[in-house]
Structures are given as C-alpha cells and as structure tokens.
Structure 1
C-alpha cells in the first residue's frame, strides 16, 4: 500500500470513529435526560419501636421503581434503646430529606411503620418540609398510656426534673408496645420528649399542626388495636389534601406494611 492510500484509509477510519461517536452521543443524550427525570420519588423509611432499619428495607424494595429509599435507624430501635430525645430523631430525618433535595429529587415522602409513622407526623408538625407522609399502622400513644397509668409516675417525675434543670438524670419507666411491657431507662429529657401526653408523640396533636397540606396516606389493619379509633382519631385532623387517603387492609399491626405494599405503590404512582 502506498502513502496516499494509507492516508485515505486513515481519513476513512477517523471519519468512521467520528460517526460512531456521534451516534453514541445521540443515544446517550436522551438516556441522560430520562435518567434525570427518574429522580421524582425518594422515600425516608422509619421503623417501629424496638425495630431495626432492615425491617423497613424489605418494604422499600417493593417501592423500587419508581422510588429510591433510605431506611434510617431511629433512637427507639432495639439497639439504641432511646439514646436520644425526639427532637434529635426529627433532625436525623431532616438530614436525609436535605440529602435527597441536594441530589435533585422532586418528591420526598416520609414512610413510617408504627412509631415511625408517629415520627413522620411529628416531623410535618415541626419541620414540615417533606412532600407527603405514608403512615403504616401508626403507633405509640403516650396519651393513652398516661391515662391508663402506664408510666405516668415516670413522666411526672421527668417533667419535674426537666423543669428544675436536671433533665440528664436517668429514669426507668414502663413502656408499652402492642400489649407487651418493657422497662427501658433513659434521661428524663428523653423520656419526657417521647412520653409526654401533650408532646411530640401525641399523633392527634401532630396531625392538627402539619405545616402545610400534603398527600397523607393512613394505612390501618382491621386487626390493629388502633383501628377502632377510626378516621376521627388523627386522619381527619390533618390539613385536607385531594390525594390523602384512609386505607383499611386485612392485617394486624406487624404485617400491615407487607399486606399494603402494592396499594401503597399504586397510591404513590397516582400522585401528580
């Protein structure tokens, strides 16, 4: 082959490479746009009392796609055992919401089971910057416990200690979780933050204080003790939103997330 033919071959090869690159870019451009558009739904998952993040991760995988998720270990997990007060728990949630916002997600939903549902509502009543709440078998009712004289003495003592600047002192109290009693120890400040009947843990109070109307999905099983309280207990107190729903499923307290997963995903997909 002479020099001229070699040059021609090089030009032809180089032209082919450019054409290939052009085709690749044409294929990649719409993919990138579609990938950016996929960032429409992110879930912050919160487990129940004495639970662990992995329990909610199983639920989160059923929401993929269209949603990504992060399961957060809350202070009421079995491992942490109330090591931080409720306001710190809400800041832990806020950090994940902020992280998702920085990544460009257009909708950040709070999804909690039992005490985690309680936290989602408390978050909307205090910080209020999420785009919706999914409350799965909501739980933790400090007002019911107090009125039933379960842990009342400890709550009263905690209130006294906090008022006199001794909130760091440790107290032990009776805790109730689906009919089972435990005796956790924690600081007076922490105890009062979770078990004050008029505090952050009271779901009817939190419901009425949502910072803004957002889609709110309350999912309750017919075998759940809270089912008897009905919509008036807390759901009706949340600011009205056209996409809010009170969903009843054939389940108990623990299996509600699994039983309702398909319906929850359908609800998410139906959001505008």
Structure 2
C-alpha cells in the first residue's frame, strides 16, 4: 500500500516533468542545414574546383550539400527556359529536405546568384542566400555601353521581343549572350531567350533582389577585380530586404578566385545566420 501511495503521489510530478521536457525540446533540437550550390554559366559546371572546395568544407561541418548540373552549364547551355531552371532548383531543394535538411541555403556563383535570388523571390522556402561574384546582368546588357558583346545582346533582346509580340515566341534563333565580356551564341526560342535576358524578367538580379522575402539573411562576396565590383552593392545588396545578419564583403580576387578563398567565411556565416 505504501508503494502504491508513493507512486500515486509521484505520478503528477513525473507527468509534469515530461510535459515540460517535451515542450522545451524544440529549442534544443539541432537544425540540419541543406545547401544548394548553383554554378556559373558556360563554361561553368558542377566540377568547378571552387565550388567543390566549398562543398567539402560545408559537408565537413555537417551540412547536406547538392551541386547539380544546371541548364546554363557547359554541358547544357542553355536547356529550356528560366522556369525549367527554377523547377530544377525546387527539385534539388526537395531532395535536401527529404534527406533531413530543416533549413535551406541557396548559394550561387555568377548566374547562380540570379538563380538563387529568383527562386527565393518567386518561390520562397529559402532560409538564407549566399551570393558569390554575381553575374548575368540583363539590365546592363541592355542599358550599358553598347560596344562589344552588349550591343549584340541588346539587338537579340529586341529581336526576341518582336518575335514574341508577333506571336512567334516558339521561333528558334541563334541569339547572343555576354559572359564576363566574352561573346557567346545560344540557340533558343524567342520566348526562352527572353526568359533569361529580359531586363525586367525573373533572371534579372536587380529586380529579384527587391522581392526577396523580408528578413532573409544574405551574404554577398565579390572580388576587387570583378567587373561588377563598383555596382554590386547598389545594384543588388542595397535592394535586398534589411536583415541584421546580412553581410556585404569585397575581398581580393577575381570573378572565379573568390570561391576558393572564401569557403571558411561562408561556412562560418551560414552557421551564424541560421543560429536560433
């Protein structure tokens, strides 16, 4: 009888203690960070040594990482329209979540930054952004000095607009691209081309930065020898929603070398930005 009495008297305390433990559990539960790395435009690829170096560091720090072959890679340049690319971003994020990721970071390099911003702005579900040496700038292709590749891209944009307006958006042409001052040709339909090169479209970083959800922390790193160094802050970073965890940093390096030299800073910032 005494044993039964003691257990009965203790039971409410045990139940209360268990309830408090379960209530408090979420604040102690470790988040699993998933990071999607989006490479740059042709000749960019998942095999980029800088991205692979970042991947190695993030995985060593316990993060889950994916580095997919995107439609703008050297292998696929350019496969389909921008919406298809965003669909692939979603599919890879879904895979990270299925593997246990509870927080999602999208890290882009060059045009990968445009992809990261566009997905966060129009699809959501991104907890932090890392923008490395942003590239692919339809606004500047169309409006900046028109000598060299920019003039050819502007002419292609005008041609694609005219075809779409005439109901011929499915017409394929060899349109022009500018990748870090190098003229490229890409065979797409007029509508597909505009989805990547419209100065007001979803692949334009200046437009998408303004639409990123409020409170999203962002890290933007650019080299002092990058073509966008003088405008990247006002063009992209200052248009992002304010966050006390957001950081803009200029470091010594080129459009490509910043990847190799920033992996420690990237890993540290991600952990700090997503800390509760």
Contact 2:153/2:176, CA 8 A, preserved across alignment? yes
- Paired residue secondary structure (2:216): coil
User: Match of 1:213, SS?
Assistant: coil
- C-alpha displacement at 1:212, in angstroms? 3.4
Distance 1:251 1:268 in 2: 21
TM-score computed with the length of structure 1 as normaliser: 0.82
**Are residues 66 and 38 of structure 1, via their aligned partners in 2, closer, same or farther at CA, if it must alter by over 3 Å?**
farther
> Does residue 136 of structure 1 match 2:138?
no
Match of 1:209 among 208, 211, 232: 211
Q: Confirm whether residue 57 of structure 1 aligns to residue 52 of structure 2.
A: yes
Q: Which has the higher contact order (CA 8 A, sep 6+)?
A: 2
- CA displacement at 1:57 relative to structure 2: 3.0
Question: For the residues of structure 2 that align with 1:230 and 1:53, how far apart are their CA atoms?
Answer: 24
1:39 Cα deviation from its structure 2 partner: 5.4
Q: Deviations over 1:236-267 (max 9, x none)?
A: 11111121110211111011111111111111
Residue in structure 1 matching 2:81, options 85, 88, 100: 85
Specify every segment of 5 or more residues in structure 2 that has no aligned partner in the other structure, as ranges.
Answer: 1-28
Structure exhibiting the larger radius of gyration computed from Cα positions: 1
Matched, 1:145 2:141: yes
- Contact residue 34 and residue 104 of structure 2 kept, 8 A: yes
Q: Is the 8 A contact 1:128 1:212 kept in 2?
A: no
- Moved beyond 6 Å, runs of 4+: none
1:264 to 266, 269, 272: 266
Unaligned 5+ runs, structure 1:
1-36
SS of aligned partner of 1:157 = helix
Residue of structure 1 in register with 2:10 after alignment: none
> Distance in 2 between the 1:152 and 1:227 partners?
22
Q: Residue 249 of structure 1 corresponds to which residue in structure 2?
A: 251
**Could you report, residue by residue, the CA deviation over 1:5-55 in whole angstroms, capped at 9, with x for unpaired residues?**
xxxxxxxxxxxxxxxxxxxxxxxxxxxxxxxx6651111111001011121
Secondary structure of 1:83's match? coil
SS at match of 2:105: strand
Would you say how many aligned residue pairs link Structure 1 and Structure 2?
A: 238
Shift of 1:78: 0.9
C-alpha separation in 2, matches of 1:169 and 1:79: 23
| Distance in 1 separating the partners of 2:97 and 2:165 | 38
Q: Match of 1:137, SS?
A: strand
Q: Which of residues 185, 192, 195 is equivalent to 2:194?
A: 192
Residue 174 of structure 1 aligns to a residue whose secondary structure is: strand
RMSD: 1.8
Deviation at 1:176? Answer: 1.0
Q: Is the 8 A contact 2:64 2:96 kept in 1?
A: no
Q: Secondary structure at the match of 1:151?
A: helix
**Residue 68 (structure 1) aligned with residue 64 (structure 2):** yes
Distance 1:146 1:132, change over 3 A: same
Match of 2:39 among 29, 35, 47: 47
What CA distance in whole angstroms lies between the structure 2 residues aligned with 1:193 and 1:79?
A: 20
Secondary structure class of the residue paired with 1:43: strand
Q: Tell me how far 1:204 sits from its aligned partner.
A: 1.2
Matches of 2:257 and 2:138 in 1, distance apart? 23
